[in-house]
Amino acid sequence: MKVVKFKLKKTINVLLACLTALPLMLTPTHVSAASDANINLSSEKQLIKGFGGINLPAWIGDLTPAQRETAFGNDQNQLGFSILRIYVDPDSNNWYREVATAKRAIEKGAIVFASPWNPPSSMVETFNHNGDTNAKRLKYDKYAAYAQHLNDFVTYMKNNGVDLYSISVQNEPDYAHDWTWWTPQEILRFMKENAGSIQGTKVMAPESFQYLKNISDPILNDPQALANMDILGAHTYGTQISNFAYPLFKQKGAGKELWMTEVYVPNSDNNSADRWPEALDVSYHMHNAMVEGDFQAYVWWYIRRQYGPMKEDGTISKRGYNMAHFSKFVRPGYLRVDATKNPDTNTFVSAYKGDNKVVVVAINRGTSATSQKFVLQNGNASTVSSWITDSSRNLASGTPLTVSNGAFTAQLPPQSVTTFVANVTGGNSGGNTGSGTTYEAETGTSLTEAGIETIYPGYTGSGYVNFNAMTGSAIQWNGINNTTTGTKNVKFRYALESGTRNLDIFVNGTKVISNEPFPATGSWSTWVEKTIQVPMNTGTNTLKVVTTGSEGPNIDSVNVTAAQ
């Protein structure tokens, strides 16, 4: 049954891909003069959560231990994936299948989220869907039981060493020929009445197969449903680039995350993973997802497949190397910054910053080499490293480039993708956010079971705050002032010797993020920065962080800027 479905889906997507490509084929092939690619380090866009794919042992077998290292490691000949998607089997007796790979992914620094295709069979009924009398849906009196089923999966994974970052309500509810259908009204009802009972992880919805807005618009337009949704997940099978933007999400989704959670491009043909220049469509699709769609995550379908980033023999494919140009260098917590997205007819550019670095991904879809000038604004660098994938090379190291007067010029080979990385100084390069306003943790705050210390060096201001060893310890900043309402970047400066400690985040008394992880920095005197995004109002706001385990990291300060 699955095979029939995927053949049907592949046929549909080939047609959609042809429609998508038609305007490109009809575009005149004249070459325009290249413009400078300006990288504005102070113009911040979305916070990047990561890149990855799905592991689905029930359908194609588990990743081997070696393949897990290739997928989630970030050394040479590894993909650097930072997100793993897993399957919520309707039969809880099969949940053990997901544990081994998920645990290793987390050990390598990835986050894990889960998607269900079907509820348990006892909760499902058949109905007539456009003439298909065997179509399936969740029984209307089983919504609460289904929410508990999802809760049980979250608990099972946690008890087996896997803290899920998120769980989805349903995979492709609007393309459910072989699984469970949901109408927009049914999804809305579940999100309003039942999603709030899912505990211990973020809730994702609706994972439309083609990013159709009719199934997510009702959630965004309903305050209760929206409050119960943490991540808007979408698939982009055949989605026109012109439909990647989502103005209603921009308007209503402050503080929510926007993820692209499944796709394969341009096709799923057998042994197509190394075709060139076809594989270049992968990085081009990722560029548009980041720049036109403002997605914070990009998740492929099968990690290991003959058309995927990893081939069946466990080696990285051309498609995988195209993904790696993003996943290995644009790390979780980086921010996309404004860049000239199309400086020449066939050249496409996106840029990101984090860890005092700037990362620029440049794609040349043309059949001739081109010379491209990149200009750094509100920051500078001295040298630039580069990695190139083209017809004959896979993430090959390029010759270092020199920055002069804040600019460098690079040759982009024909039909290639190049990633540039530079350590940035000055301007807005110091971490993951721009200048903004810094609020110390030890002044202007209300402390609950927490105290001010000066034991470990490297803090700013007059000290830092150490949580007491108990759940519910808290710091509240009482006077965060904004000139506009909307999504804000909040950069925490913190230290943590070992392990990971989680905090709940409240804005103006409302919890906006649950169990946000703060990983170890290596020592109590090693201070690092971590950026989250939350909604805030015009005027004075409160920001509160609360321990959810027995402890939290030491907090030095927060820096608040507007996300543009």
List Cβ neighbours of 561 (8 Å cut-off, separation of 6 or more): 44, 433, 434, 435, 436, 437, 488, 489, 491
Full DSSP string of 399-413: --EE-BTTEEEEEE-
Cβ atoms within 10 Å of 219's Cβ, excluding its own:
26
DSSP symbol at 393: -
**Parallel, antiparallel, or unpaired: how do β-strands 539-547 and 500-507 relate?**
antiparallel
From the list 172, 186, 529, 551, the catalytic residue is 172
Given a contact cutoff of 8 angstroms between Cβ atoms, the answer to whether 42 and 434 are in contact is yes
Give the DSSP letter of residue 195.
G
Of 44, 186, 257, 262, the active-site residue reads 262
Q: Phi and psi at residue 540, in whole multiples of 5°?
A: -90, 135
Tell me if 42 sits within 8 A of 427, measured CB to CB.
yes
- With 0-12 / 13-18 / 19 or more C-beta atoms within 10 angstroms meaning exposed / middle / buried, residue 227 is middle
C-alpha torsion angle, residues 257, 68, 324, 427 (rounded to 10): 60
* Active-site residue flag, 551: no
Which of 507, 436, 446, 437 has its CA nearest to residue 474? Answer: 446
What gap in Å lies between CA 564 and CA 562, rounded to an integer?
A: 6
Listed in order, strand segments (DSSP E) in 413-507 are: 416-423, 437-440, 445-448, 450-453, 464-467, 474-482, 486-495, 500-507
Using CA atoms, how far apart are residues 304 and 178, in angstroms rounded to an integer?
22
d(CA 168, CA 162) in angstroms, rounded, equals 16
Active site residue 186: no
The answer to whether residues 369 and 411 touch, using CB atoms and an 8 Å cutoff, is yes
CB-based burial, 403-442: b 16+ in 10 Å, e otherwise: beebbbebbbbebbbbbbbbebeebbbbbbbbebeebbbb
List the catalytic residues.
Answer: 172, 262
